[in-house]
Homo-oligomer: A and B are copies of this chain.
Amino acid sequence: MALDTVLVRVDGALDAALDRLIMLLEIPSISTDPAFKDDCERAADFLVTDLQTIGFEAAKRATPGHPMVVAHGGPDAEGDLPHLLFYGHYDVQPVDPLNLWHTEPFEPVIEDVAGQKVIRARGASDDKGQLMTFIEAMRAWQEVHGELPCRITIFLEGEEESGSPSLVPFLKENAEELRADIAMICDTGLFDARVPAIVTQLRGLLAEEVTLKAATRDLHSGFYGGMAQNPIHVLTKIVADLRDENGAVTLSGFYDGVDELSPDLKAQWDSLGFQGDDFLSSVGLSTRSGEAGRSDLELMWARPTCEVNGIWGGYAGDGFKTVLPAEAHAKISFRLVGTQDPEKIHAAFMEHVNARLPEDVTAEFGNGHGAPASVMSTDDPAFETARQALSDEWGMEAAFVGAGGSIPVAGHFKDILGMDAMLIGFAKDDDAIHSPNEKYDVESFHKGIRSWVRILGALSGAV
C-alpha cells in the first residue's frame, strides 16, 4: 500500500531527519535582533537547498526584512488532485535570560526526560521542528514514489517572531502564485499530550488605547480636588462600565455576529474533557469568572472578551503625591469571534468613551487596529479527511478545536488569498516556547512527519 511504504520509510530515516533538524537548529535565526540578520539568511538558504534536494523549485525571496522561502513541487493540480499551501516560519525568539538555560540554546541536544526523548534547543518546537515535520514527510514520499502526492507550495516566513511586517505586502504581491485550494499551517499544538487537533476557528483581536486629558498640568489636590475633573476617575468609570455585572460587554452592538456553537461542535468540545479547574489552579485561581452558562472551552474559543491590559496615570512612586494628573491612559483589547466587525466595535468603543466624558475632559484614541475572527468552512471535506488521518496516526479521535489567541497568518490567507486554513501542529503544552529550555518531543517530530504523510495521502486519494 502506497501509504504504508512511506510510513516505513519515515521510521527508518528518523535519525537522518533529526540530524537535518539539528543543523537547522544550530543557526541562530533570531529575527527581532539585527545582529542575527545573516543567520536568518543562512537559515533561509539551508531550507532552499534542502527543498531543492527533494525536487522542489525553491527560492529565497527578498523582502524589506528577512527573506521568505517559496517552493513549488509535485504534479499540476488537475482532476481530484488538490493544490496545497504549507506555511511555517524559520525564525526564532530571542534566548534571554540565557542563564536559565541548562544547555546552549543553539547547540541542540537530544535528551532523555522521564523516559521520553526530547530535542532541546531554541526553535525546536517553535517552529523549526514543526516545519521540518512537513518537509520530512515530503522527502519520504518523494523518495518512495519518485514524486510528490499532489501540487504543493511551501511558504516559509522569517519574521513571525518580530511582528510579520513583510507578510501582508508579500501575500498581496504574490497572491496568484501562492493561492491554493487550502492552506496548512504548522505552528500550533496537540489538544493535550495524546489528542491531536485541527484548529478551525481563531478569535480576532481589536486593540484600543485611550488617553484622557483634563487640565493643562498636574494639579494640587488640596486646591483643585473636588472642583476640577480628575481624568483617572473618569477613566475608571469608562473601564468599569465596559462590562456588566454578569461579565457581558456593554458596547452597543458588540454581540452582533456572535453565533451560538453548532450542537455538533459543542458536543465535540464537551467530549474533550478540558480540565478548567486545573487550568485555573495552575495560576493560583479557584473560580471561573465571566459569562455564566458557557463551558470553559466555549469561553476560550467561541466567546468574545473585553480585557483591560494596562492602565496608568498620576503618581506611582514611593510615598504620596497629592496630585490630580493632567492625563490618564488605558490599553484595552477585545477578542472577537464569528463575524464581529472590528471597525464597528472600534466605533462603538469610541462612542462608549465619548458618552462618558464630562466637560473639560477630552479623549484621544490610538489607531484601534484589529482583525476579525477566522472561522474555517469545516464542511469542506478536506477537514474531515485530515481529521481522520490524524486520528489514525495518534490512535485517538482528533478534534476540531478553537484558538483563544491570535494566529494572524490564517486570517491573512483568508482575506488576501481567499483560502481556508487547517492549523495542525504537534507541540505540547510543556514545550516552553518563547522561554528558556525550549524542547520538542521526538515523538512529536516522528508522529508529526507520519501525520503529514497520512494527511497528504488521504487528501490526494493515494490511500
Which A residues are within 8 Å of any B CB, using their own CB? 203, 205, 207, 209, 214-217, 219-230, 232-233, 235-237, 239-243, 247, 276, 279-280, 283-291, 296, 299-300, 303, 305, 307-316, 320-325, 328-329, 331, 333, 335, 358-360, 403-406
Contact = CB atoms under 8 A, between A and B. Distances in A.
B310 A315 contact: yes
The residue in A221, A225, A279, A305 that gathers the most chain B C-beta atoms within 10 A of its C-beta is A225
A230 B321 contact: no
A229 to B, nearest CB: 5
A333 B360 contact: no
A239 B231 CA distance: 12
Given A223-B404, A225-B307, A314-B309, A360 B299 contact: no
Among the interface residues A311, A321, A333, which one has the most CB atoms of the partner chain B within 10 A?
Answer: A311
B316 A221 contact: no
B324 A285 contact: no
Contacts of A232: 239, 308-311
Contacts of A359: 286-287, 289
A233 B239 contact: yes
A216 B289 contact: no
B223 A300 contact: yes
Contacts of A217: 283-284
Contact of A307 (B226, B241, B280, B308): B226
Nearest to A217: B283
B307 A227 contact: no
A315 B303 CA distance: 24
Contacts of A216: 283-284
Contact of A324 (B286, B288, B309): B309
A287 to B, nearest CB: 4
A382 to B, nearest CB: 26
10 residue pairs, one from A and one from B, having the closest CB atoms:
A222-B405, A310-B314, A216-B284, A226-B305, A287-B359, A236-B239, A310-B315, A236-B236, A225-B305, A226-B290
Contacts of A233: 239-240, 242-243, 307-308
30 contacts: A207-B322, A215-B283, A215-B284, A217-B283, A226-B247, A226-B289, A226-B305, A226-B307, A227-B280, A227-B290, A227-B296, A228-B283, A228-B285, A228-B289, A232-B311, A233-B243, A236-B239, A240-B240, A240-B241, A286-B360, A289-B360, A307-B324, A308-B314, A309-B314, A309-B324, A310-B313, A311-B311, A311-B313, A322-B333, A322-B406
A43 to B, nearest CB: 25
Contacts of A324: 307, 309
A397 to B, nearest CB: 23
Contacts of A406: 222, 322
A127 to B, nearest CB: 17
Contacts of A214: 284-285
Contacts of A289: 226-229, 358-360
B230 A307 contact: yes
Nearest to A230: B307
A311 B222 contact: no
A406 B288 CA distance: 45
Contact of A315 (B203, B236, B241, B331): B331
Nearest to A405: B222
A172 B323 CA distance: 31
Contacts of A209: 320
Given A233-B308, A309-B321, 11 more contacts: A214-B284, A220-B405, A221-B333, A222-B406, A227-B276, A227-B290, A233-B307, A235-B236, A289-B358, A310-B315, A310-B316
Contacts of A290: 226-227
A230 B360 CA distance: 30
Contacts of A219: 283
Nearest to A287: B359
Nearest to A403: B222
Contacts of A241: 240
B305 A316 contact: no
A203 B222 CA distance: 8
Contact of A224 (B221, B227, B239, B283): B283
